[in-house]
């Protein structure tokens, strides 16, 4: 089993735990008896979740509010986590957001910050905690990638590129970890009913997509945790998601890019 057993002297670090998939990862890991370290910007939500999970499961929960787009705040967070009483046995790099529109028309600051949250924070936290896991011969990392990472996506260019990084980095490191007792799993959801599309400024995007693709945060989190338990390299939370990923890998770009542009423009009414 790649997911370490619950241990009062250890904790599962979850970024983006204040909403959506991150909150569900926290609930489900807590139900398995794991202590938690929750990170996001909205402190009040993390405090409320921490209180609920301590009371329900008798686990230890630590909370850190941090803007992962802020270089200095990330450095302070890593320092505080390293100085913490409990070792990080499980790292869930989940925080992230997207945007929709033509890159040259989107606010540059938010696009650049997206790279810091979706890519740099995941990379830095992995660099900070993976070496100790390997030294101990035990640990699990779950990176939340996306189906968006399997092909370039016009009108969603930065987001798809960040998830391309997550998917590729995770598969490569997972292979390097063979035989170490530590696993890295990349979870690749399609559309999930969370605050994601609201944050991206496109309202109820899931509602405008084929129903068979839409999943709940709870089922996606469950697939990710089961993937960690099994020590899997890549997890699709359903068969349809797996099929879409394979299509993204195989369809020639000369066909995919114009088709994707048309679909995006129709879906987004642009």
Ligand X SMILES: NC(=O)c1ccc[n+]([C@@H]2O[C@H](COP(=O)([O-])OP(=O)(O)OC[C@H]3O[C@@H](n4cnc5c(N)ncnc54)[C@H](OP(=O)(O)O)[C@@H]3O)[C@@H](O)[C@H]2O)c1
Supply the residues annotated as catalytic.
159
Strands, DSSP E only, in the chain?
10-15, 36-40, 61-65, 87-93, 139-144, 182-187, 192-193, 215-216, 234-235
Q: How far apart are CA 236 and CA 227, in angstroms?
A: 9
Residue 11 in contact with ligand X, rule: CB under 6 A: no
Residue 146 in contact with ligand X, rule: CB under 6 A: yes
DSSP secondary structure, 112-173, as one string: HHHHIIIIIHHHHHHHHHHHHHHHHT-EEEEEE--GGGGS--TTSHHHHHHHHHHHHHHHHH
Q: How many amino acids of this chain bind ligand X (CB under 6 A)?
A: 30
Q: How far apart are CA 246 and CA 236, in angstroms?
A: 11
**Is the CB of 114 or the CB of 133 nearer to ligand X?**
114
CB of 134 to ligand X, least distance (A): 24
**Is the CB of 3 or the CB of 19 nearer to ligand X?**
19
CB of 97 to ligand X, least distance (A): 5
Using the CB atoms, write b or e for 159-184: b if 16+ within 10 Å: bbbbbbbbbebbbebbeebeeeebbb
Question: Given candidates 120, 199, 209, 263, which one binds ligand X under the rule CB under 6 A?
Answer: 199
**Is the CB of 138 or the CB of 234 nearer to ligand X?**
234
52-91: contacts with ligand X (CB under 6 A): 66-69
Q: Give rounded-to-5 percent helix, strand, coil for the chain.
A: 55, 15, 30
Residue 101 in contact with ligand X, rule: CB under 6 A: no
Residue 94 in contact with ligand X, rule: CB under 6 A: yes
Residue 50 in contact with ligand X, rule: CB under 6 A: no
Q: Of the ranges 40-48, 78-86, 132-140, 235-243, which one interacts with ligand X (CB under 6 A)? A: 40-48
CB of 39 to ligand X, least distance (A): 7
150-189: contacts with ligand X (CB under 6 A): 189
Question: Given candidates 7, 28, 32, 41, which one binds ligand X under the rule CB under 6 A?
Answer: 41
- Please count the residues of the chain: 270
Cβ atoms within 10 Å, residue 14 = 30
Binding site for ligand X (CB under 6 A): 16-22, 40-42, 66-69, 94-98, 117, 144, 146, 189, 191-192, 194-196, 199, 217
């Amino acid at each position: 089993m790649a997911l370490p057993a619950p241990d009062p002297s250890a904790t599962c670090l979850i970024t983006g735990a204040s909403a959506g998939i991150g909150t569900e990862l926290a609930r489900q890991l807590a139900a398995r008896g794991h202590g938690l370290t929750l990170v996001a910007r909205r402190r009040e939500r993390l405090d409320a979740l921490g209180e609920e999970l301590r009371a329900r499961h008798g686990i230890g929960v630590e909370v850190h509010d941090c803007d992962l787009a802020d270089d200095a705040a990330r450095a302070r967070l890593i320092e505080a986590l390293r100085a913490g009483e409990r070792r990080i046995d499980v790292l869930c790099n989940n925080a992230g957001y997207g945007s929709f529109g033509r890159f040259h028309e989107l606010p540059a600051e938010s696009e650049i910050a997206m790279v810091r949250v979706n890519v740099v924070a995941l990379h830095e936290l992995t660099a900070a905690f993976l070496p100790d896991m390997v030294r101990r011969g035990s640990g699990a990392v779950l990176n939340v990638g996306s189906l968006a990472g399997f092909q370039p996506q016009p009108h969603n260019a930065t987001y798809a590129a960040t998830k391309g990084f997550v998917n590729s980095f995770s598969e490569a490191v997972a292979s390097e970890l063979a035989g170490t007792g530590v696993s890295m799993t990349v979870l690749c959801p399609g559309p999930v009913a969370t605050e994601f599309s609201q944050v991206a400024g496109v309202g109820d995007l899931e509602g405008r997509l084929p129903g068979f693709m839409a999943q709940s945060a709870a089922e996606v989190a469950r697939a990710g945790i089961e993937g960690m338990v099994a020590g899997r390299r890549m997890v699709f939370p359903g068969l349809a998601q797996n099929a879409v990923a394979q299509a993204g890998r195989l369809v020639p770009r000369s066909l995919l890019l114009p088709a994707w542009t048309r679909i995006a423009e129709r879906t987004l009414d642009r």
